Amino acid sequence: MASFEASGSDATDVPRTVLVVEDNELNMKLFSAMLSSQGYTVIEATDGNLGLALAQQRHPNLIIMDIQLPGMTGIEITQTLKADAATQTIPIIATTAYALKGDQERIMASGCDGYMAKPIAISEFLALVASFMTRPAASKSAPHPSVA
């Protein structure tokens, strides 16, 4: 049960673990490299069922969620996680290469907290990740100056 890995003692600890659910090998390498370069711990899941299981077991600080996946889709995983009190607070950034008209609305309606179309722009992606990691409590205007 106790798979919580944060060992710090107070709430000022910077969250560090990101689960990437992505079935495309090149995209996975790209996400993993970008996140690792910023010092985040990356957990990789290459299909939907594994993604759901790892989210539940490891309780990451953030999930990067591909939508088109073998097994469960990213939307199904998101709905499942957001319906469970144990996982509903984990922020989820959805990514997709095939954003058709109405897709973004459908994806956001599933409970995702952010959305990014592929191909991913590195600086935008890292800024979005950082904005969820630092989690400004009330103010949206004070980004944490931790990324050089």
Contact 50, 38 (CB under 8 A): no
* Residue span binding Mn ion (CB under 5 A) among the ranges 48-56, 67-75, 79-87, 136-144: 67-75
Smallest separation, CB 143 to Mn ion (Å):
30
Smallest separation, CB 68 to Mn ion (Å):
4
CB within 8 Å of 39: residues ≥ 6 apart: 16
Smallest separation, CB 24 to Mn ion (Å):
5
Which residue of 55, 66, 94, 129 would you call a contact of Mn ion, by CB under 5 A?
66
Indicate whether 68 belongs to the interface with Mn ion (CB under 5 A). yes
Indicate whether 65 belongs to the interface with Mn ion (CB under 5 A). no
Smallest separation, CB 19 to Mn ion (Å):
15
Give strand pairing partners of 116. 95
Indicate whether 20 belongs to the interface with Mn ion (CB under 5 A). no
Contact 85, 50 (CB under 8 A): no
Q: Mind giving me the DSSP string for 51-118?
A: HHHHHHHH--SEEEEESS-SSS-HHHHHHHHHTSTTTTTS-EEEEES---TTHHHHHHHTT-SEEEES
82 versus 118: smaller Cβ distance to Mn ion: 118
Give strand pairing partners of 110. none
Indicate whether 23 belongs to the interface with Mn ion (CB under 5 A). yes
Smallest separation, CB 64 to Mn ion (Å):
12
* Total chain residues near Mn ion (CB under 5 A): 3
Indicate whether 104 belongs to the interface with Mn ion (CB under 5 A). no
Contact 33, 22 (CB under 8 A): no
Q: For residues 140 and 120, what is the distance between their CA atoms, to the nearest angstrom? A: 23
Given the rule CB under 5 A, which residues bind Mn ion?
23, 66, 68
